[in-house]
Amino acid sequence: MFNIGWSELLVIGIVALLVIGPKELPGALRTLGQWVTKVRRMASEFQNQFHEAMREAELAELKKEVDEMSAKAQSYARFDPVDDIRKDIENAAGPLPDLDAPTTVTAQSSTAESAPAPAPVAEPVIPASPAPAPEAAEAAPIAPPVQAVEAEPAPGEGTVSGPPKPDAGRAA
């Protein structure tokens, strides 16, 4: 610790012998030894307290890690993938409507909230006839609506209408 060699110890011993005297030197060396022992004991106690504090800090850190692991283990014990997926779907779809209460929606709010309407299907075109006079409209009977007639396919198109024949899919 202090890097004192034998030559320095010899010089210190000669100075101590001259200053203290040969009669008092053994008592002084004993007192010096007791003081060195006390200083070493205090240094050892300080080191032990320091190491104990380090162990307690490590134990507190280990206890914290163990508590975190046990909390994770408990969350894994309650793991239910079906419930998790159900919650995700419910959150994505929004709240479920109350099925017991009657629903009253105005036309204005229903068009704003609903999805866009599908494209209208083309209806057959019926040639318009001139409208009869108002007096004649009362006397004329109402004719049934005209149905559109499908055109026959051109040769080579091969569309078949009606129910399939039982052997239609089999090769001859």
145 inside domain: no
31 inside domain: yes
CA distance 90 to 99: 16
Q: Count the domains in the chain.
A: 1
- Asked whether residue 75 carries a pLDDT value surpassing 70, the answer given is yes
For residue 16, what are the domain limits? 6-64
pLDDT at 37: 96
pLDDT at 144: 63
Q: What's the whole-number average pLDDT of the chain?
A: 75
DSSP string, 20-72: H-TTTHHHHHHHHHHHHHHHHHHHHHHHHHHHHHHHHHHHHHHHHHHHHHHHH
124 inside domain: no
Give the model's confidence band at 145: pLDDT under 50 very low, under 70 low, under 90 confident, else very high.
low
- Asked whether residue 34 carries a pLDDT value surpassing 70, the answer given is yes
19 inside domain: yes
Segment 110-130 shows an average pLDDT of 57
78 inside domain: no
Give the model's confidence band at 138: pLDDT under 50 very low, under 70 low, under 90 confident, else very high.
low
Q: Two tokens at 96?
A: 């479920």
> When comparing pLDDT for 35 and 84, which is higher?
35
pLDDT at 3: 81
- Asked whether residue 48 carries a pLDDT value surpassing 90, the answer given is yes
- Asked whether residue 133 carries a pLDDT value surpassing 90, the answer given is no
CA distance 124 to 150: 10
∠ CA(119), CA(124), CA(128), 5° rounding? Answer: 120
132 inside domain: no
152 inside domain: no
pLDDT at 82: 83
- Asked whether residue 110 carries a pLDDT value surpassing 70, the answer given is no
pLDDT at 93: 79
11 inside domain: yes
Q: Of all residues in the chain, what percent carry a pLDDT higher than 70?
A: 55
Q: What global pTM score does this model have?
A: 0.34
CA distance 4 to 11: 11
